[in-house]
């Protein structure tokens, strides 16, 4: 059964692409891979294939000079062979560096260890007084215009005389904004004040995706949108916590997408609001502390690992490559709950934040990784299927180096491992 477990983990981690790109992978049983949706690219033929366990020990010593590439600046690097568990390439693997959005690997890993993939967030609306509908915000930042219409229709049916809409945001007590994120990043579309109800992640002007300006009042926007659908003008934030026990009449409820769907979108687009929301799904009062507590039950947390948010926007975060790689290795090797993270990783030259990278490199389609980017900071954490049939997990963090140059060096290194 040990070989079977290796096969399953490897299958989850692997996608092959001929030409330019491929869609995501869905694993439906232990012996087959499916592509969904079907690829749409001209001359691009995704190939799903069974994998054989490689023999012998891997030898990547000839790639060691690439670890000293000056384009990587100050770097922390680790590559591990999934079959043997041995570290095969490394440079300063225990050096904690600024990880940028690769911090999201910790957030998603903790979520997978605590929550179920089918979990949904339920937003309820209860009656207050004779004519007030109170939205009990519960953490759904994935609300859509359809969600708003659905809520309004249910409220109208169950409280025809509604005159006011309020929203109760007491579910989250953690700070809604960390000043180190920078208020300018709200306008630039990278973050929003973290309130437990948002329409399309608080994007403004009808936008449904992308780094576009976000709202400073996302929960109030939800209340306002429901009020407009109902044809009422009065809407506000509720004062304190509105009781929603057995005595409160429920007027409406809606559910978010599943956790699986939410983390897939989070990882594909590296959305900071989604990552912070998942952290608050773990704990509405101390998301970072709960993330580390959960991980600490399964892994040895390095003493010098420090994170201050769940998205990676904080420039005070510090994570060594060794720890990030340990999460990838556990997912690929033997942790059935963590294995779901592998299918969320963007595909080189195919999906998400890696769609435009690796287009001419041998790693295209065979590297899957979470990216990270801040000023003079780059990161790449994921898996590689080599030409020899081996699967490697890896983490690369680069600090104090121009982003495009560091990315090129990372992608070339990962592609060299693919060619091994």
- The set of catalytic residues is 101, 104, 270
Give just the sign of the alpha carbon dihedral 99, 102, 107, 109.
negative
Is residue 232 within 8 Å of residue 163, measured between CB atoms? yes
Nearest to 158 by CA among 129, 121, 133: 133
Angstrom CA distances, 246 to 211, 239, 243, 261, stand at 41, 20, 9, 31
Phi-psi region of 100 (alpha: psi -120 to 50; beta: other; left: phi over 0): left
Q: What is the CA radius of gyration of the chain?
A: 23
Report the C-alpha gap between 228 and 106 in whole angstroms.
Answer: 39
Say if residues 168 and 241 touch (Cβ distance below 8 Å): yes
Q: Who contacts 61 (Cβ-Cβ below 8 Å, separation ≥6)?
A: none
Report whether 377 contacts 398 (CB < 8 A).
Answer: yes
Query: What CA dihedral angle connects 252, 257, 263 and 269, to 10 degrees?
Result: -100
E strand spans, 82-151: 87-91, 96-97, 122-128, 132-136, 140-143
For residue 120, with 0-12 CB atoms within 10 Å meaning exposed, 13-18 middle and 19 or more buried, which class applies?
middle
Are residues 103 and 402 in contact, defined by beta-carbon separation less than 8 angstroms?
Answer: no
């Amino acid at each position: 059964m040990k070989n079977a477990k290796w096969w399953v983990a490897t299958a989850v981690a692997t996608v092959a692409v001929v030409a330019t790109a491929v869609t995501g992978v869905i694993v439906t049983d232990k012996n087959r891979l499916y592509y969904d949706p079907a690829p749409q690219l001209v001359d691009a033929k995704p190939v799903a294939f069974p994998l054989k366990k490689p023999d012998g020990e891997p030898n990547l010593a000839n790639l060691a000079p690439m670890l000293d590439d000056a384009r990587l600046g100050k770097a922390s690097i680790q590559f591990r062979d999934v079959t043997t568990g041995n570290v095969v390439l490394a440079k300063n693997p225990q050096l904690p560096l600024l990880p940028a959005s690769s911090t999201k690997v910790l957030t998603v890993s903790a979520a997978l260890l605590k929550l179920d993939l089918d979990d949904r967030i339920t937003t309820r609306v209860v009656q207050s007084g004779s004519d007030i509908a109170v939205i009990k915000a519960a953490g759904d930042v994935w609300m859509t215009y359809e969600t708003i219409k659905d809520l309004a229709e249910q409220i109208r049916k169950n409280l025809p005389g509604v005159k006011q809409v309020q929203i109760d945001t007491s579910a989250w007590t953690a700070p809604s904004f960390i000043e180190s994120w920078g208020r300018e990043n709200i306008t630039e579309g990278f973050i929003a004040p973290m309130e437990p109800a948002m329409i399309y992640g608080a994007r403004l002007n009808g936008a449904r995706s992308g780094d576009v300006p976000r709202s400073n009042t996302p929960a109030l926007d939800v209340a306002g949108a429901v009020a407009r659908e109902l044809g009422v003008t009065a809407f506000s934030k509720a004062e304190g916590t509105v009781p929603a026990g057995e005595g409160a009449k429920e007027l409406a409820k809606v559910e978010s997408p599943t956790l699986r769907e939410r983390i897939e979108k989070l990882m594909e687009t590296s959305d900071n609001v989604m990552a912070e929301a998942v952290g608050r799904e773990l704990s509405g009062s101390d998301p970072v502390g709960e993330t580390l507590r959960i991980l600490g039950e399964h892994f040895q947390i390095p003493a010098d690992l420090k994170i201050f948010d769940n998205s990676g926007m904080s420039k005070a975060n510090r994570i060594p490559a060794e720890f990030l790689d340990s999460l990838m290795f556990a997912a690929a090797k033997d942790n059935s709950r963590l294995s779901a993270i592998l299918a969320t990783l963007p595909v080189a030259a195919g999906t998400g934040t890696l769609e435009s990278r690796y287009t001419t490199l041998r790693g295209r389609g065979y590297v899957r990784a979470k990216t990270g980017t801040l000023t003079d900071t780059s990161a790449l954490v994921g898996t590689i299927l080599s030409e020899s049939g081996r699967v490697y997990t890896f983490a690369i963090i680069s600090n104090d180096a121009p982003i495009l140059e560091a990315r090129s060096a990372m992608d070339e290194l990962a592609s060299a491992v693919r060619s091994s």
